[in-house]
């Protein structure tokens, strides 16, 4: 009766009236969340199979977060219409729109966000890279193409395939950089992409992702070029950009 043409879709109004007619204990905010997550086409209709998946063991993490939100009703206004926000809340809103593709997820993140723990990992890595670069620049009196200085290559942080036995070098090379250009580019991307990702996904996931990218870089050099030294955090930056690519596409 609700779907006489057997399309597998019903209108949002029909679905909402069905919920109310059966007196299901679902507040309006959760109903909006459920409808937004169950929409399977561009016409604003609810897909039956998507609804079954959500209500069964195939529930998405977004739906679980919505249910875990308790009885708190989220404001229905679009986040971009929010006024009177302070600097930090505007930044949180920017992060929500930069990282999360779904409006409901953006609202959930915006109203549930807490400042503790802060995104310290990417900030700490970037600050350490800057300090290490300044120390070696002052010591060698060289700020561009530092790898051409013989003392630079003697650093215990630089990775070289010939020093594979010193396992810490597989990761510590991320603190060394060739010059200001490489350091500036990596630091900019780490702060612009890494910090928002860490605010949404947490320090554990982003630190693992970043370090995995750094490790992948040193392992790749070990296989492809046994004579080339490796410096810079570009491997971790590429991992962050790859993680953010899905948000850009969607």
Q: What DSSP element (H or E) covers 197?
A: helix 195-201
Least confident residue range of 58-67, 119-128, 199-208, 241-250: 58-67
Dihedral (CA of 101, 103, 107, 112) sign: negative
Report the range of poorest mean pLDDT among 12-21, 115-124, 202-211: 12-21
Say yes or no to pLDDT of 24 above 80.
no
Average per-residue pLDDT for the chain: 76
Report the largest interatomic distance among the alpha carbons of the chain, rounded to a whole angstrom. 80
Which one, of 180, 208, 250, lies nearest residue 121 by Cα?
208
pLDDT exceeds 50 at position 71: no
| Partners of 45 in beta bridges | 11
d(CA 238, CA 244): 10
Q: What single DSSP character describes residue 225?
A: -
Q: Higher pLDDT residue, 136 or 125?
A: 125
| All domains of the chain in start order, with CATH | 1-73 (1.10.238.10), 76-113 (no CATH), 120-249 (1.20.1540.10)
Q: State the DSSP string of 3-51.
A: -TT--SEEEHHHHHHHHHHTT----HHHHHHHHHHHB-STTSEEEHHHH
- Residue partners of 138: CB distance under 8 A and separation at least 6: none
Round to whole Å and give the CA distance between 210 and 239.
Answer: 6
Average pLDDT over residues 224-244: 87
Q: How far is CA 101 from its chain centroid?
A: 12
Which one has a higher pLDDT value, 105 or 199?
A: 199
pLDDT band at 189 (very low <50, low <70, confident <90, very high): very high
Q: In this structure, what token pair is assigned to residue 205?
A: 């996931």
The pLDDT, as a whole number, for residue 73 is 45
Residue 27, pLDDT score:
58
Dump pLDDT digits (tens) for 129-171: 999 988 888 887 777 776 667 777 778 888 888 777 888 989 9
pLDDT of residue 213 exceeding 90: yes
Residue 63: what pLDDT?
45
Q: How far is CA 13 from CA 34, 73, 119, in A?
A: 13, 20, 41
Lowest mean pLDDT among 18-27, 61-70, 196-205: 61-70
For residue 231, is pLDDT > 90? Answer: no
pTM of the model: 0.67
pLDDT given at position 92: 86
Share of the chain above pLDDT 90, in %: 21
Task: Read off the pLDDT of residues 44-59 as tens digits, 9 standing for 90 and up.
Answer: 666 666 666 655 544 4
């Amino acid at each position: 009766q609700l779907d006489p043409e057997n399309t597998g879709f019903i209108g949002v109004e029909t679905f909402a009236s069905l919920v109310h007619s059966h007196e299901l204990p679902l507040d309006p905010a959760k109903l909006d969340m459920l409808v937004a997550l169950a929409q399977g086409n561009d016409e604003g209709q609810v897909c039956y199979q998507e609804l079954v998946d959500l209500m069964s063991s195939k529930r998405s993490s977004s739906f679980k977060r919505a249910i875990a939100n308790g009885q708190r009703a989220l404001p229905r206004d679009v986040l971009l219409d929010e006024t009177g926000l302070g600097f930090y809340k505007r930044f949180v809103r920017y992060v929500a729109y930069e990282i999360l593709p779904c409006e409901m997820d953006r609202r959930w993140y915006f109203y549930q966000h807490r400042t503790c723990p802060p995104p310290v990992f990417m900030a700490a890595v970037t600050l350490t890279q800057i300090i290490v670069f300044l120390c070696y620049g002052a010591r060698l009196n060289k700020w561009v193409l530092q790898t051409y200085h013989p003392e630079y290559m003697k650093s215990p942080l630089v990775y070289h395939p010939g020093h594979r036995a010193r396992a810490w070098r597989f990761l510590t090379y991320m603190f060394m950089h060739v010059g200001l250009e490489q350091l500036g580019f990596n630091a900019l991307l780490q702060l612009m992409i890494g910090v928002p990702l860490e605010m949404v996904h947490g320090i554990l996931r982003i630190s693992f992702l970043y370090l995995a990218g750094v490790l992948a870089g040193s392992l790749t050099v070990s296989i492809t070029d046994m004579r080339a030294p490796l410096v810079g955090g570009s491997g971790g930056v590429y991992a962050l950009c790859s993680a953010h690519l899905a948000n850009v596409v969607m």
